[in-house]
Structure 1
Amino acid sequence: MRLQDKVIIITGSCTGIGKAIANRCVAEGARVVIHGLEQELGEAIVASLGSDKAVLHIEEITADEAPQHLVDLALKTFGRLDAVVNNAAMVVSSNTQTTDLSLFRKVMEVNALAPFALIKVALPHLQKRRGCVLNIGSLNAWCGEPNLMAYSVSKGALVTLTRNLGDTLHREAGVRVNQLNPGWVLTEREIQRKHEQGMADDWYEHLPLELAPSGRILCPDEIAAAAVYWLADESGPVSGQIVDLEQYPFIGRNLPKN
């Protein structure tokens, strides 16, 4: 049990990557705070994990008191807090023409400012446990797609936040901060988004090798498996690191010639 008795808050864990991380954490001995906006989905996860292993909080992550509510719930239910996984994110298609300042601010609030707010509230409790933070970013942080402009910028901000806090909090409070940058992942919402964009129901079964050399894209369970290492004590003193998770090198890739 690599996470035996640890208590972990996982934002955005009613679906997708967050849900997979929650399931894997409990399988490794942890207890988790499930968070999201989907009441029924969240209740189903808690029921499957067991009320002694999981508790649910439904609230918009940008609400002023959301970080305090999550931390208080962890302490009230399980008596301690060992780690935070900042996974909740606003994934929205937008480019230069379709992005106004209101949308940009909202994406930044969800994807970059909310993680900082939760870390700040959780920090005194993480310090007591010499705990850690794991931020879930995106490969889009390095430049982004034309139609994921605001999202990509927000994930770039999260990279800098992780590197900054991964240094300062490790030295000042003994709290490690690291980040995973997944590539293309087959979540429930990604399947739905692509369908809404006009793609066939089985679009993920017919991907070009340039995008998926293995013939498929990543699944949430594979991201969850990687997350366990960074939440476990076995990752030792490593902090301030950004780890890309994709099936090809994102920077300096040798694309096949036509």
Structure 2
Amino acid sequence: MRLQDKVIIITGSTTGIGKAIALRCVEEGAKVVLHGLEEELGQEVLTEIGPEKAVLYIADLAKEETAGQLVEVALKAFGKLDALVNNAAMVVSSNIEDTDGAFLHKVLAVNTVAPLLLIKAALPHLSETKGNVLNIGSVNAWSGEPNLLAYSISKGGLMTMTRNLGDALFRDKGVRVNQINPGWVLTETEIKRKQEHGLSETWYKSLPDMYAPSGRIIWPKEIAAAAVFWLSDECGPISGQVMELEQHPMIGRNAPKDTSTIK
């Protein structure tokens, strides 16, 4: 039990990577605060885990008061806080033509500002337990896809925040801050998003080697397995680090000109 008796807030944990992290954390002995926007989906995860090991809080991270409320939920339910996973994010298509100020501010509010506010609200309690923060970023933080402009900007900001606070908070408060940058992950949302872009219902079953050398893309549970290391005491004094979780190098790799092989 690598997370025995630890209390962990996991934002965006009603689906996808966040849900996988929550389930794995409980398997490793933790108690979790589930969060999301979908009450029905959240209740399903809560039922799967059990109310003695989890509590659900539905709220919009774009509202500044949500950060403090989530911390209070953790303290009321379990009496302490050991870790925070900033996973929730708006994954929305945009480019230079259709990204205006209001849209960019909306994406940044959830993907970059909310994690900072959550860290700030959690910090007094994390310093007591010598806890840690794990930010879930994206390989798009390094440059991003052309149609993911606002999202990529927000993840680039999150990565800089991780490196900054990973040094400052560990030195001052003993609180580690690290980040994992997942590549292409087969979440429920991603399956639906690609279908909305015109791909078939089974697009993920036949991908070019360029995108999936293994023959498939990453599963959420594989991201969750990596998250456990950073959340556990096994991580030791490592802080301010960002780790890519993708099956091919991000630098020196050129995408094929013809992407029609993705169906």
TM-score interval, smaller chain: over 0.9
The answer to whether structure 1 residue 58 and structure 2 residue 58 are counterparts is yes
Question: In the alignment, does 2:105 pair up with 1:105?
Answer: yes
Matching of residue 190 in structure 1 with residue 176 in structure 2: no
Query: What is the one-letter code of the residue matched to 1:219?
Result: W
Counterpart mapping for 1:98-177 below 5 A: 98-177=98-177
CA distance in 2, matches of 1:197, 1:240: 36
Shift in Å at residue 64 of structure 1?
2.0
In 2 relative to 1, CA 157–41 (structure 1 residues): closer, same or farther, beyond 3 Å? Answer: same
| Structure 2 residue runs without a partner (length 5+) | 259-263
- Cα drift, residue 33 of structure 1: 0.2
Counterpart in 2 of 1:67? 67
Mapped to 1, the partners of 2:132 and 2:158 lie a distance apart of 16
1:31 aligned onto 2:38: no
The C-alpha deviation readout for 1:87-126, integer Å capped at 9, x for no partner, is 0000000000011111001111111000000000000000
Shift of 1:197: 0.8
Query: Structure 1's 211 and 65: CA in aligned 2 closer, same or farther, altered over 3 A?
Result: same
Residues in 2 aligned to 1:61 and 1:141: alpha-carbon distance in whole angstroms: 20
Aligned length: 258
Q: 1:226 is matched by which residue type in structure 2? A: A
Question: AA paired with 1:128?
Answer: E
Letter in 1 for 2:118: L
Letter in 2 for 1:193: R
Could you tell me how far 1:257 is from its partner in structure 2?
11
Separation in 2, partners of 1:2, 1:15: 23
Aligned equivalents of 2:220, 2:257: Cα separation in 1: 31
Correspondence for 2:210: 210
Question: What TM-score, normalized by structure 1, do the two folds share?
Answer: 0.98
Q: Distance in 1 between matches of 2:213 and 2:257?
A: 14
Q: Corresponding residue for 2:83?
A: 83
Contact 2:64 2:114 survives alignment (8 Å): no
Give distance in 2, aligned partners of 1:217 and 1:181: 14
1:128-183 residue CA offsets vs partner (Å, 9 max, x unmatched):
00000000000000000100001001000000000000000000000000000000
Aligned to 1:228: 228
Which consecutive aligned stretches of 4+ in structure 1 deviate over 6 angstroms post-superposition? Answer: 254-258
Q: Structure 2: how far apart are the matches of 1:21 and 1:185?
A: 13
Let me know the Cα RMSD of the aligned residues.
1.3
Structure 2 distance, partners of 1:248, 1:2, is: 29
After TM superposition, the score normalised by the length of structure 2 is 0.96
Amino acid at match of 1:253: R
Letter matched to residue 106 of structure 2: K
Counterpart CA distance in 1 for 2:142 and 2:234 is: 28
Whole-Å separation in 1 of the counterparts to 2:257 and 2:58: 49
Q: Distance in 1 between matches of 2:100 and 2:123?
A: 34
Q: Distance in 1 between matches of 2:16 and 2:65?
A: 25
Residue identity matched to 2:108: M
- Secondary structure (helix, strand or coil) at the match of 1:5 reads coil
- Unaligned 5+ segments in structure 1 are none
